[in-house]
Amino acid sequence: MDHYEQRERLDAYVLGALDAAEAAAVAAHLETCESCRAEVAAGRRVAEGLPAALEVASPLRVHPSVKRRVLAAVQGPPRPRHFRPQLWPVAAAVALLMFIGSTVYAVHLQIEQQDLALTVRTETLNKLGATLSQGDQLRVLEVLDSNATTKRSLRSVDPQLPAFHDSYGKLWTRSDDADVVVMVNKLPQPLPGQRYELYLTSAGSTIDAGALKLDADGFAMLLFRADRSGPSYKRAVVTLGSTPVLQWAG
Amino acid sequence: MSGIAAGDIAAFTQLYDRYARRIHAWCAHVLGVGRAEDAMQEIFLRLWQHAGQFDRERGSFTTWFTAIARHYLVHVLRRESMLRRVAMATEVAAVLEHGSASTPGPEETLAQREDGAALAGAMKLLPDEQRQVLVLAYFGGLSQSQIAEELALPLGTVKKRIRLGMEKLRGALAPQSSPQRAPGAGRAAR
């Protein structure tokens, strides 16, 4: 995909109207193209001005009681950050499906960003047993613990978005094997009909590596075999719907 | 924003006064008047809870807050049927086409007033089909592919309409895009 093709997509990009793989490709292009970044900045000014345009055009006014209500809400007791009441049924359904599905690769781990590998080594054996077969547990650990393993960190695409501020992910590949392990953590639960997908880019082509099914803590693991031993990826993007939310670029 | 992060309710109230009407219009026209107040409360609550995450070096407050609001509203909209989302966009497009000549409140900064007014004027002048796809994309949260499917149009037609529409809207802002305006340049018109 060349510069001119990406440039054609910039307007849709700033409007949030690209499909996930397209948005990921544009984001990658922007990292190296100053003129397109300038174009995006101009486009964002338009996009961010659209609510102001609607405000100008709208005959509606805010009732004064709304202000009292909002101020009362912000001064009220703090609420759980990631689980609001309306999301509990969704989270419960996700947790139940994960428990039932023996092939689901999501596992329940508490992972700290700084010592992720150590945490995984010490806690994984106990917790993987609930959802992964013994064979898959060993495959995961062999990838995580191998001396031939490369680890990549996925960060929030837009750290300004509160929902994804604390979210992160890890991608492990081995230079001597085709198994690939991906973990994500602290992701907000998807709404019905949405799901997290992992896209991996190598040698100019992007593949959909699979869905990431969260547990109740916003954690998921994906284990799959690449098409060859020692896969080399240039980019990894996790999307929600059509929106990239986590990424790593080499 | 640091004041809000530290729990300064007076600072939060100032921001509420500045943005309430915009967020209310957005919520009311996208979700319906009956759901606007709940949505407003949620959006401002997110501002209050996450104020400490705002980083001025990464962009303006308006950029950050607009992202919060759109993220929330698009996620709510994705629970709705596609039919409902298209109907919403039709209503929003109609407001933008026939909207009142009102201006943003006095709390708005000069640049924000100018951008909003200029874009409102430009949106009125857009051909219906360009206004429709822009609204479906930004306010409705639909991808180009979804728009093409819902409107039964070739994808290339949707892309072209978005591109042409955005080009005209950028043009509407272009005369104001110089970073340093003369002090008080817009106040004489107030």
pLDDT given for residue B132 in this prediction: 95
- B12 and B24: one domain? yes
ipTM: 0.86
State the CATH number of the domain containing residue B59: 1.10.1740.10
- B85 and B160: one domain? yes
Are A163 and B120 an interchain contact pair (Cβ–Cβ within 8 Å)? Answer: no
**Average pLDDT rounded to a whole number, residues A91-120:** 46
**Average pLDDT rounded to a whole number, residues A141-154:** 82
d(CA A131, CA A216): 14
Residue of B14, B15, B18, B22 to mutate when probing chain A, most A C-beta within 10 A:
B22
- B115 and B154: one domain? yes
Q: Residue B168 pLDDT more than 90?
A: yes
How does residue A102 score in pLDDT terms, banded at 50, 70 and 90? very low
Rounded to the nearest angstrom, the minimum Cα separation between A57 and chain B is: 4
- B99 and B68: one domain? no
In chain A, residues with a C-beta closer than 8 Å to the C-beta of B177 are 42, 45
State the CATH number of the domain containing residue B160: 1.10.10.10
The tens digit of pLDDT for each residue in A165-215 reads: 778 888 999 888 888 988 888 888 887 778 888 989 887 788 888 888 887
Residue B99 DSSP symbol: -
Tell whether A194 is within 8 A of chain B (Cβ): yes
Q: Residue A100 pLDDT more than 80?
A: no
| Helix (H) / strand (E) containing B16 | helix B9-31
User: What residue in B sits closest to A69 (Cα-Cα)?
Assistant: B41
In chain B, residues with a C-beta closer than 8 Å to the C-beta of A80 are none
- Backbone φ, ψ for residue A47 (5° rounding): -60, -45
- B38 and B112: one domain? no
- B97 and B31: one domain? no
The listed range with the strongest mean pLDDT (A110-119, A134-143, B106-115) is A134-143
The tens digit of pLDDT for each residue in B39-96 reads: 999 999 999 888 888 888 878 888 889 989 999 999 899 888 888 889 899 889 999 9
Task: Give me the half-sphere count of Cα atoms (radius 13 Å) on the Cβ side of residue A95.
Answer: 10
pLDDT given for residue A2 in this prediction: 78
**Average pLDDT rounded to a whole number, residues B6-21:** 88
Q: Would you say residue B183 lies in a domain?
A: no
Q: Residue A106 pLDDT more than 60?
A: no
User: What residue in B sits closest to A74 (Cα-Cα)?
Assistant: B45
Are B137 and A17 an interchain contact pair (Cβ–Cβ within 8 Å)? Answer: yes
Three-state secondary structure readout of A136-168: HHHHHHHHHHCCCEEEEEEEECCCCCHHHCCCE
Q: A219-231 burial, b if ≥16 CB within 10 A, otherwise e?
A: bbbbbeebeeeeb
pLDDT given for residue A89 in this prediction: 63
Calculate Rg over the CA atoms of chain A. 21
Q: How far apart are the first and last CA of chain A?
A: 18
Are A57 and B26 an interchain contact pair (Cβ–Cβ within 8 Å)? Answer: no
Q: Would you say residue B172 lies in a domain?
A: yes
d(CA B29, CA A114): 44
Pick the last residue of a domain from B79, B107, B141.
Answer: B79
For the question of whether the overall pTM of this predicted structure is more than 0.80, the answer is: no
- B73 and B143: one domain? no
Q: Would you say residue B98 lies in a domain?
A: yes
d(CA A29, CA A91): 35
Rounded to the nearest angstrom, the minimum Cα separation between A230 and chain B is: 35
d(CA A209, CA A199): 6
pLDDT given for residue A113 in this prediction: 38
> Which residues, 6+ apart, have CB-to-CB distance to A235 below 8 Å?
A24, A28, A199, A200, A201, A206, A247, A248, A249, A250
Q: Residue B172 pLDDT more than 50?
A: yes
Residue A218 DSSP symbol: S
User: What residue in B sits closest to A7 (Cα-Cα)?
Assistant: B163
Cα–Cα distance list, B72 to A21, A23, B79, B140 (Å): 22, 19, 12, 12
The tens digit of pLDDT for each residue in B109-157 reads: 555 567 788 999 999 999 999 999 999 999 999 999 999 999 999 999 9
3-state secondary structure of A203: coil
d(CA A66, CA A70): 6
Tell whether A18 is within 8 A of chain B (Cβ): yes
d(CA B35, CA A179): 48
Query: Domains of chain A (ranges plus CATH)?
Result: 3-74 (1.10.10), 85-249 (2.60.40)
User: What residue in B sits closest to A42 (Cα-Cα)?
Assistant: B170
User: What residue in B sits closest to A12 (Cα-Cα)?
Assistant: B162
Would you tell me which residues 77-106 of chain B have a C-beta closer than 8 angstroms to some C-beta of chain A?
Answer: 78-79, 92, 95-96, 98-100, 102-104
Question: How many other CB atoms are found less than 10 A from the CB of residue A98?
Answer: 20
Q: Would you say residue B150 lies in a domain?
A: yes
User: What residue in B sits closest to A79 (Cα-Cα)?
Assistant: B49
Tell whether A60 is within 8 A of chain B (Cβ): yes
Tell whether A241 is within 8 A of chain B (Cβ): yes
Q: Is A241 left (phi over 0), alpha (psi -120 to 50) or beta?
A: left
**Average pLDDT rounded to a whole number, residues A100-120:** 41
Nearest in space to A247 (alpha carbons), one of A48, A6, A31, A2: A31
Pick the last residue of a domain from B30, B56, B79.
Answer: B79
Would you tell me which residues 46-75 of chain B have a C-beta closer than 8 angstroms to some C-beta of chain A?
Answer: 46, 48-50, 53-55, 58-59, 62-64, 66-71, 74-75
Domain of B62? 1-79
Nearest in space to A249 (alpha carbons), one of A171, A132, A145, A196: A171
Q: Would you say residue B188 lies in a domain?
A: no
- B70 and B114: one domain? no
* CA B171 to chain CA centroid, nearest Å: 18
User: What residue in A sits closest to B164 (Cα-Cα)?
Assistant: A11
Tell whether B20 is within 8 A of chain A (Cβ): yes
Rounded to the nearest angstrom, the minimum Cα separation between A165 and chain B is: 8
| CB burial of residue A159 (10 Å; 0-12, 13-18, 19+) | middle
Would you tell me which residues 120-159 of chain A have a C-beta closer than 8 angstroms to some C-beta of chain B?
Answer: 158-159
In chain A, residues with a C-beta closer than 8 Å to the C-beta of B118 are 49
Domain count, chain B: 2
Pick the last residue of a domain from B79, B105, B127.
Answer: B79
d(CA B128, CA B93): 8
**Average pLDDT rounded to a whole number, residues A226-234:** 87
- B86 and B120: one domain? yes
- B74 and B90: one domain? no
Q: Would you say residue B38 lies in a domain?
A: yes
pLDDT given for residue B167 in this prediction: 95
The listed range with the strongest mean pLDDT (A83-92, B52-61, B115-124, B178-187) is B115-124
How does residue B13 score in pLDDT terms, banded at 50, 70 and 90? very high
